C-alpha cells in the first residue's frame, strides 16, 4: 500500500515536471505581455474558485505576464438591492441604472467585491491594488442609452494610471464604473469595460471568463479559432445569438482598438487562464483580426 502510494506520487511529480517543461515556449512567447481578464461575479461567490483564480494570477505575474483584472459583481448587486428593498427595473433584459441603483452598484463593486479579489491575490503572494474606472478618470463615459439610465459607454481610457501600476510591479483590479463629462457616475457593463481597457492598453490578450464553453457553431460544437469576418458572418446568419452577441461585439471592438486576440472561455473550468496561455490546446474560442 505504501509502495503504491509512493509510485502514484512519483507519477504525479513526473507529470507536473512534464507540464512545466511543455509550458516553457508559451511562457517565453507571452513574456512581458499585458493580459486583461474579465472576471464574472459568479466566480467571486465561491471562496475555493476565488483562491484558485488568485493563484493563477500570481503565477502569471511570476512568469512576467502583466495581468489586469476587470470584474463584475451582478449577483452581489442583486442581493444588496433586495436587502435595501430597491426595485430593479429592466428594459429588454437590461438593468435600468437609476441614481439610487448606481449608488448601490458603486458601493458593492468598489467596496466588497473589489477588495475581496485584491485580498485573495495578496493572500497568494501577489501585490494587487484595487481601483474603479472613476479613479484618475480611468474610464470616461457618455450615456449609452437614455432608457437604461446611468449606464455608461466608455469613449476614453486613461491607460497611464494602469501602466504606472504595472511598471511598479502591481496587479490592477478594476471595478467597472466610469465618470461622465459633468462628473456623474456611470455603471459600465463588465465586458464592455474590460474591452475598452484592453484596447486602451493595446493588450496582447483579452480573456472574457464566462459561464459557457465559447462560441459554438450550428451543431453546438465550440469553435476554437475565429476571425473577425467569421464572427460577423455568423452573427448575420443567426449562428451567434442571444447573450453571445455582446461578448463577440466586445471582442471585435477590442481587436479594432489594437488587442492582438480575444478569448471567450468558461471561467468555471479550474485553471482556465493557465490552460489558455500556457498549453497548446488552449481554452475556449480565440478571435483574431
Give the active site residues: 38, 41, 74, 191, 247
Distance CA 131, CA 68 (A): 11
Angle at 193 between CA 156 and CA 26, to 5 degrees: 105
C-beta of residue 206 within 8 angstroms of C-beta of residue 198: yes
Angle at 256 between CA 273 and CA 57, to 5 degrees: 20
Shortest CA distance to 173 belongs to which of 115, 237, 213? 115
> Residue 184 gets which letter from DSSP?
-
Q: Which residue has the cell 480565440?
A: 286
Give the SS3 label for residue 100.
Answer: helix
Distance CA 78, CA 101 (A): 10
Give the SS3 label for residue 189.
Answer: coil
First to last CA, the chain: 55
Shortest CA distance to 186 belongs to which of 158, 149, 157? 149
Amino acid at each position: 500500500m505504501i509502495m503504491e502510494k509512493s509510485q502514484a506520487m512519483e507519477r504525479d511529480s513526473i507529470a507536473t515536471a512534464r507540464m512545466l517543461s511543455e509550458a516553457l515556449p508559451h511562457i517565453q512567447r507571452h513574456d512581458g505581455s499585458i493580459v486583461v481578464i474579465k472576471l464574472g461575479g459568479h466566480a467571486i461567490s465561491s471562496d475555493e474558485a476565488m483562491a484558485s483564480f488568485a493563484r493563477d494570477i500570481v503565477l502569471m505575474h511570476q512568469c512576467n505576464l502583466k495581468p489586469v483584472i476587470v470584474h463584475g459583481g451582478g449577483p452581489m448587486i442583486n442581493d444588496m438591492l433586495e436587502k435595501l428593498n430597491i426595485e430593479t427595473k429592466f428594459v429588454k433584459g437590461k438593468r435600468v441604472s437609476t441614481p439610487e441603483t448606481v449608488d448601490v452598484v458603486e458601493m458593492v463593486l468598489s467596496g466588497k467585491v473589489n477588495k475581496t479579489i485584491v485580498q485573495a491575490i495578496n493572500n497568494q503572494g501577489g501585490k494587487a491594488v484595487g481601483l474603479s474606472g472613476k479613479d484618475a478618470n480611468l474610464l470616461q463615459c457618455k450615456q449609452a442609452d437614455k432608457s437604461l439610465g446611468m449606464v455608461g459607454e466608455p469613449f476614453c481610457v486613461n491607460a497611464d494610471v494602469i501602466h504606472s501600476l504595472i511598471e511598479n510591479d502591481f496587479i490592477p483590479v478594476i471595478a467597472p464604473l466610469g465618470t461622465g463629462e459633468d462628473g456623474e457616475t456611470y455603471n459600465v457593463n463588465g465586458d464592455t469595460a474590460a474591452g475598452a481597457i484592453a484596447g486602451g492598453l493595446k493588450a496582447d490578450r483579452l480573456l472574457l471568463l464566462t459561464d459557457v464553453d465559447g462560441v459554438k457553431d450550428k451543431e453546438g460544437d465550440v469553435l476554437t479559432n475565429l476571425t473577425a469576418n467569421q464572427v460577423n458572418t455568423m452573427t448575420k446568419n443567426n449562428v451567434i445569438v442571444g447573450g453571445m452577441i455582446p461578448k463577440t461585439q466586445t471582442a471585435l471592438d477590442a481587436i479594432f482598438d489594437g488587442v492582438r486576440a480575444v478569448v471567450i472561455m468558461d471561467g468555471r473550468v479550474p485553471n482556465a487562464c493557465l490552460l489558455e496561455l500556457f498549453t497548446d490546446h488552449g481554452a475556449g474560442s480565440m478571435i483574431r483580426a
